Amino acid sequence: MDKNRIIVFDTTLRDGEQSPGCSMNTDEKIKIAFQLEKLGVDVIEAGFAAASPGDFDAVSQIAQSIKNSSICSLSRAIDNDIKQSGLAVQAAKLKRIHTFIATSPIHMKYKLKMNEAEVIKRAVHAVQYARTFVDDVEFSLEDAGRSDMSFMKEVMDAVIEAGASTINLPDTVGYRLPNELGAMVKELVAYANSRAIISVHNHNDLGLATANTLECVLNGARQIEVTLNGLGERAGNSALEEAVMAIKTRQDIFKGLYTGINTVEIYPSSRLIATITGVEPQQNKAIVGKNAFSHESGIHQDGMLKNKETYEIMRPEDVGVFKESTLILGKHSGRAAFRDKINNLGFDTVTDTELNAAFDRFKILADKKKEITDDDIRMLITDESLNQDQTYELIDLQISDCTNGFPMAAISIKHNGDILKDANIGSGTMDAIFKTIDRLTGFSGKLEDYKVTSVSEGKDALAKVITRVSFDEKSPSIVGHGLSIDTMLATAKAYLGAVNSYVSQKERLKPKNTHQI
Ligand code: KIV
Ligand code: ZN
């Protein structure tokens, strides 16, 4: 292993999914996994297989689909967790089990109610058992940031001896400052003495996650655990885009250290996550925020015109942020120009069916909207790929009387070849739409979140609606996506999209009865 190579372990699909409101279904996770593979991450932590049948399904589907990144599943140091992880990653070309137990005094005393000897025994057993499924086992000392140094060394000796090849040192509660973690990592890297790769996993509770990660790298950590857009439990994790670009941009400090990340895929990856989860990075978020490369003040703009390096330390193109291209599409543009445009926008894996459907929608849009921007086209393609499941297809929506009378929605839906029609009044137009869809489909959803954003500028801008809907207590809430010039039409599509995702997830998880009695 090259000592200058930093292994990028992406945990967007596991720790990132633990962000409130960020749960994703299997199809969405598979899409993200393909993008992570294209981004060049070394390890994809695809989930926590034992957490639910949905999580198991997602990890195993990803394991079957991805070829170039290693697929990892998280497990507590409990046999059943490890077994589920082992089974879920079984089909992967490259596979890893990640198991953990807390090592800090506070976690051992109050959470685990175990003493040090018991923790070591459990850790050793977990690693040995994980090794019966895979060769590559990572062990995490949860809350390492608040653990005792001499105990960590004992745990490390024991789990390395048991077969762990990566030792992860999470600052689980985001408590440490860079100099403290740097010193901790330095001592443990020297102690490991090349018997295992030292990894770090930093949380952002004090806004220091990336600073901590970088200091750990400078002190010998060779794996960084990160998420796109910095998603993750509470204040999130160290952001992949920040850590990777800092290493790349500050080679004067990181002297020859490098990652395998294809940085032009950073922005497309960030957009995909934001679109799927409905959680936008803050506008001033480093690298991927809307304002990350915009210059507002006159002095800055003047400097930029004279020499971009006056105010830009990275080229936007290097992280996949491209300025609006000059090839403008309109209603006379043909399929070839459309295909060319989407290839230039980086959608090189779009299938013919997706392309044709998006082209039809582009033509309808071009009739209504004068200028079709790159963002409009990006959104048409992404929306098409997120809404392929059309168990229930919206055919028609009519709404009336939103001012003084009873807001009403009349809706037609296609289901199994039949056209179903119904109408309902509601306390508002949206309420009327949701009630009518509930009655037509027979599913009663609880709306947990609703967001509407405009894709581009102008009164004729496309509206992008995201609904987060809960259908039953046992399953995580489901995100639906809707896109239209008409906000209410986008709303109906988004709600129906959530119903379709719910139905397909249920279908996928149904026990398959292969033996007829
Ligand atoms: O923050 C943490 O400690 C974790 C571990 C499970 C690696 O996410
Ligand atoms: Zn974590």
59, two tokens: 């990890």
Secondary structure tally for the chain: helices H, strands E: 17, 14
CB count in 10 Å sphere of residue 122: 17
Round to whole Å and give the CA distance between 497 and 359: 20
Nearest CA to ligand 1 atom 1: 172
Residue whose CB lies within 8 A of the most ligand 1 atoms, among 103, 201, 205, 226, for a mutation test: 201
Per DSSP, helices labelled H in 263-396 are 266-277, 298-306, 335-344, 352-368, 374-386
Tell me, using a 6 A CB cutoff, whether residue 172 lines ligand 1. yes
Distances from the Cα of 382 to the Cα of 31, 367, 462, 468, 501, angstroms: 10, 21, 14, 18, 16
Query: Ligand 1, closest atom to CA 203?
Result: 1
Question: What is the rounded CA–CA span in Å between residue 323 and residue 304?
Answer: 14
CA separation for the pair 226, 239 (Å, rounded): 5
- Radius of gyration over alpha carbons of the chain, in Å? 25
Q: Closest ligand 1 atom to the C-alpha of 100?
A: 6
Q: Residue 323: its pLDDT value, please?
A: 66
b/e per residue, 277-288, with b = 16+ CB within 10 A? bbbbbeeebbbb
16 lines ligand 1 (CB under 6 A): no
- Take residue 450 and report the two structure tokens written for it: 């609703």
Instruction: Give the number of other CB atoms < 10 A from CB of residue 6.
Output: 22
Establish whether residue 229 lines the binding site of ligand 1, counting it when its CB lies within 6 angstroms of any ligand atom. no
- Is 76's C-beta closer than 6 angstroms to any atom of ligand 1? no
Mode of pairing for the β-strands spanning 463-470 and 70-76 = unpaired
Q: What is the pLDDT of residue 516?
A: 41
- Beta pairing, strands 478-484 & 463-470: antiparallel
Predicted confidence at residue 512, as pLDDT, reads: 62
Mean of pLDDT values over 439-453: 94
Classify each residue of 487-498 as buried b or exposed e, where b means 16 or more C-beta atoms within 10 Å of its C-beta: bbbbbbbbbbbb
Distances in Å between the alpha carbon of 153 and those of 147, 171, 190, 282, 388? 10, 16, 11, 39, 51
Full-model pTM = 0.91
Q: What is the pLDDT of residues 266-318, one digit of tens each?
A: 999 999 999 888 899 999 999 999 899 987 777 777 777 878 888 889 999 99
Q: Tokens representing 143?
A: 């809350």
Confidence of residue 513 (pLDDT cuts 50, 70, 90): low
Report pLDDT for 398: 96
pLDDT of 517 strictly over 50: no
**Digit-coded pLDDT (tens) for 245-274:** 999 999 999 999 999 999 999 999 999 999
Give residue 514's pLDDT.
45
- Summarize the confidence of residues 1-21 as an average pLDDT: 94
Q: Which two tokens stand for residue 412?
A: 């037609």
Question: What are φ and ψ of residue 396, in 5° steps?
Answer: -155, 145
Centroid of ligand 1 to alpha carbon of 172 (angstroms): 6
- Angle made by CA atoms 445, 417, 422, in degrees to the nearest 5: 45
